[in-house]
Chains A and B, each alone.
Chain A
Amino acid sequence: MLAVLTAQDVPEWPDALASASEASAVAERAARLLLGAAESFRARSGSEVLLDNFPALRERPLGNLAARTPGDPGNFLQRLNLALGDLAPPGVHIVDSAALAALHGATRWRDARLWYEAKQPIAHAWVPEYVRSVAAVIAARLGGARKCLVLDLDETLWGGVVGDAGVAGIELGEGTPRGEAFKSFQQHVRALRERGVLLAVCSKNELENARAPFERHPECVLKLSDFAAFRASWDPKSDSLRAIAEDLSLHPSALVFVDDNPAEREQVRRALPEVAVLDMPADPADYAAALDASRWFEAAEVTADDRARAGQYERRSAARALSQTMDLSEFLASLEMRAQLAPIDDTSFARVLQLANKTNQFNLTTRRFTEAELRAWIERPEGMSLTVRLADRFGDHGLVGVVTATSLGDTLRIDDWLMSCRVLKRGVEHLVVTELAALASARGHARLRGRFVPTGRNELVRTLFDDLGFVRAAASDHEIAYELELASFRPPSHFIAIDRRGVPG
């Protein structure tokens, strides 16, 4: 449900002479009324609600005095928008029309004549901006946000060609307009990293030249440690992007590619159409705005795990380096992995919801949930759930796995099984199936049942149940059903110490 709101939908306005506290109280009441209605609809229908906030008004009868007059309608709408954002419950999402209108100009955002003649609240020119904003909110909820920003270097993160000009000769930092613009773009990129977007480099350069500015340029905001993957070679960029996706265990459709060179962009578009390729403006001063306007990294929320993600990939890279010096068993044992197992609870719920709605590769059934649907699902008396947090000697990877299941007579049916790609090939799936078998036995079940539902993006787990010893019970174009008789189950080995929190058995 998308509620397209206009100032005519504001349920209460303050008195023109209201004090700041009076105007804030009215704003909170009005916000609670709108959000309460949205929440009521959400609870009734199970559908999520997108609610517009309120762009600034074109009319400013008080002029500059409005800024210090809390009862002024324009002043009040700012309070109301803040209250809407602060008080919005889960499942009610704010479409920040106010920010879009501010960005493009309130007098242009709304065409007064169009409103009076056709009750159209947004001028024709800005409808694409608005619908893209709405689509980005919906895509974020459905797991469509991209995960990794892949950056070219020369003329993208700094001006000039580092291989020719050397570190001292590139344009970066204070002193020239272009240098300042590139530094500002780096700051913007770093802010994306801090909210959980992975960064990677894809450059046609000698490796040593490509690394040098990050190591030695005093005004380089980004550091080598900010990048989860770093590819500098003379290979076609589409090949490097494929390698980056593989390095990070991501599907190419999780990548956004930024390069100043239109020829490189076109090569990637043709060879790897799943990668989102940004058309960069000619002037680096406009790079950050272009990246923002694409909305590829719009998130439904930012969790603590998101903030920690980049560091987790660094630790993963360190572990990969270690793996190249020993065989797999030695490597896995050397990681000193520790898993914490627990049912889904209030502390893990937001992360579970996020994982369920964005995990594509290691996801056996790829069911998506609204917050209400997931809560109802895990509260079923016949249901059970399991979450896995993993840590190793390089650090904490956070919550990386989720299973939900249903008791059905002598069978425990696995409904959802999804895991973060950060911990692939660590034996976590062996741990999980062993745990599920133990839980099923403890509940008196004789077998586990599971299914693989192909989506085109979860080929990674097509044979997971086969590999774990399940037997195919039925197959169609839409799914493959599996069973595992617990009497004949032989737990696969793993190298993970277990800490159970509230999980029986």
Chain B
Amino acid sequence: MQEESWKALQTAANGATEATEFRRLARQLARLRAGGAPQIPVQEITLSIIGRATRDFLAQQLDLALIARGISAAIELPPYSSALQQLLDADS
């Protein structure tokens, strides 16, 4: 059942062209993720999103766009700062 939900979500994400629908699917993905790891074949990556812009709104939808392509990302949002500074920061 879970597997069917993941497959259906992936198909829907590839077909969704309208922003409201895309956001709804992104929320659905967040709920599925709360239930465990993806039940479809995925390549796993870690992705940090940096910058001084607000990035939370991107993370959920980027997660969906990547799942549509068969990629499962652990998305990290380091603290708000200039991208240049974070790229140069030896601790980042």
Q: How far is the CA of A131 from the CA of B83 in the complex (A)?
A: 18
B39 at the interface (CB under 8 A from A): no
CB pair A121 B53 closer than 8 Å: yes
Q: How far is the CA of A49 from the CA of B82 in the complex (A)?
A: 15
CB pair A5 B22 closer than 8 Å: no
Residues of B within 8 A of A118 (CB): 54
A65 at the interface (CB under 8 A from B): no
With A40-B88, A128-B61, A456-B41: A9-B19 Cβ-Cβ less than 8 Å: no
User: A-B contact count, CB below 8 Å?
Assistant: 116
Residues of B within 8 A of A368 (CB): 43
| CB of A32, distance to nearest CB on chain B (Å) | 12
By size class, the interface of chain A is: 35 or more
| CB of A378, distance to nearest CB on chain B (Å) | 22
Q: How far is the CA of A1 from the CA of B53 in the complex (A)?
A: 15
Q: How far is the CA of A125 from the CA of B41 in the complex (A)?
A: 29
CB pair A138 B83 closer than 8 Å: no
CB pair B50 A3 closer than 8 Å: yes
**Per-residue contact bits, chain B 58-92, to A (CB 8 Å; 1 contact, 0 not):** 10011011101111000000000011101110101
CB pair B51 A3 closer than 8 Å: yes
- Residues of A106-132 contacting chain B, CB below 8 A: 118-121, 124-128, 130-132
Residues of B within 8 A of A8 (CB): 52, 82
CB pair B84 A6 closer than 8 Å: no
CB pair A9 B84 closer than 8 Å: yes
CB pair A132 B54 closer than 8 Å: no
- When C-beta atoms are compared, the residue in chain A nearest to B70 turns out to be A144
A37 at the interface (CB under 8 A from B): yes
CB pair B83 A3 closer than 8 Å: yes
- When C-beta atoms are compared, the residue in chain B nearest to A294 turns out to be B14
Q: How far is the CA of A269 from the CA of B17 in the complex (A)?
A: 18
Q: How far is the CA of A4 from the CA of B53 in the complex (A)?
A: 7
CB pair A44 B47 closer than 8 Å: no
- When C-beta atoms are compared, the residue in chain B nearest to A134 turns out to be B62
CB pair A119 B88 closer than 8 Å: no
- Residues of A265-306 contacting chain B, CB below 8 A: 269, 273, 276, 279, 293
CB pair A2 B47 closer than 8 Å: yes
- Residues of B11-53 contacting chain A, CB below 8 A: 11, 14-17, 19, 22-23, 41, 43, 45, 47-53
Residues of B within 8 A of A138 (CB): 45, 47, 66, 69, 71
CB pair B84 A33 closer than 8 Å: yes
A136 at the interface (CB under 8 A from B): yes
Q: How far is the CA of A44 from the CA of B48 in the complex (A)?
A: 15
Q: How far is the CA of A119 from the CA of B53 in the complex (A)?
A: 5
Q: How far is the CA of A468 from the CA of B59 in the complex (A)?
A: 47
Residues of A within 8 A of B54 (CB): 118-120
| CB of A128, distance to nearest CB on chain B (Å) | 4
A335 at the interface (CB under 8 A from B): no
With A9-B84, A127-B61, A134-B65: A276-B14 Cβ-Cβ less than 8 Å: yes
- When C-beta atoms are compared, the residue in chain A nearest to B78 turns out to be A1
- When C-beta atoms are compared, the residue in chain A nearest to B90 turns out to be A44
User: Quick one: which of B41, B55, B58, B87 contacts A41, CB cutoff 8 A?
Assistant: B87
By size class, the interface of chain B is: 35 or more
| CB of A85, distance to nearest CB on chain B (Å) | 18
CB pair B15 A273 closer than 8 Å: no
Residues of A within 8 A of B64 (CB): 131
- When C-beta atoms are compared, the residue in chain A nearest to B84 turns out to be A37
Q: How far is the CA of A49 from the CA of B86 in the complex (A)?
A: 12
- When C-beta atoms are compared, the residue in chain B nearest to A253 turns out to be B70
Residues of A within 8 A of B82 (CB): 8-9
CB pair A5 B51 closer than 8 Å: yes
CB pair B49 A273 closer than 8 Å: no
| CB of B6, distance to nearest CB on chain A (Å) | 12
Residues of A within 8 A of B69 (CB): 135-136, 138-139, 144
- Residues of A82-114 contacting chain B, CB below 8 A: none
- When C-beta atoms are compared, the residue in chain B nearest to A120 turns out to be B54
- When C-beta atoms are compared, the residue in chain A nearest to B21 turns out to be A128
Q: How far is the CA of A276 from the CA of B68 in the complex (A)?
A: 11
| CB of B39, distance to nearest CB on chain A (Å) | 13
Q: How far is the CA of A113 from the CA of B54 in the complex (A)?
A: 14
A169 at the interface (CB under 8 A from B): no
With A37-B87, A138-B45, A138-B71: A2-B50 Cβ-Cβ less than 8 Å: yes
Q: How far is the CA of A416 from the CA of B90 in the complex (A)?
A: 33
Residues of B within 8 A of A3 (CB): 50-51, 83, 86-87
A142 at the interface (CB under 8 A from B): yes
Q: How far is the CA of A33 from the CA of B70 in the complex (A)?
A: 34
User: Quick one: which of B15, B23, B65 contacts A135, CB cutoff 8 A?
Assistant: B65
Residues of A within 8 A of B88 (CB): 37, 40-41
- When C-beta atoms are compared, the residue in chain B nearest to A132 turns out to be B65
**Per-residue contact bits, chain A 140-161, to B (CB 8 Å; 1 contact, 0 not):** 0010100000000000000000
Q: Which of A11, A33, A119, A269 counts the most B-chain CB atoms under 10 A from its CB?
A: A119
The 8 lowest CB-CB distance pairs between A and B, nearest first, are A4-B51, A135-B65, A37-B87, A128-B22, A131-B65, A3-B83, A139-B69, A131-B62
Listed A/B pairs (17) with beta-carbon separation below 8 Å: A2-B47, A2-B49, A3-B86, A4-B49, A4-B51, A6-B53, A118-B54, A124-B19, A127-B19, A127-B58, A135-B62, A138-B69, A144-B43, A144-B71, A293-B17, A368-B43, A455-B41
Interface residues of B (CB under 8 A from A): 7, 11, 14-17, 19, 22-23, 41, 43, 45, 47-55, 57-58, 61-62, 64-66, 68-71, 82-84, 86-88, 90, 92
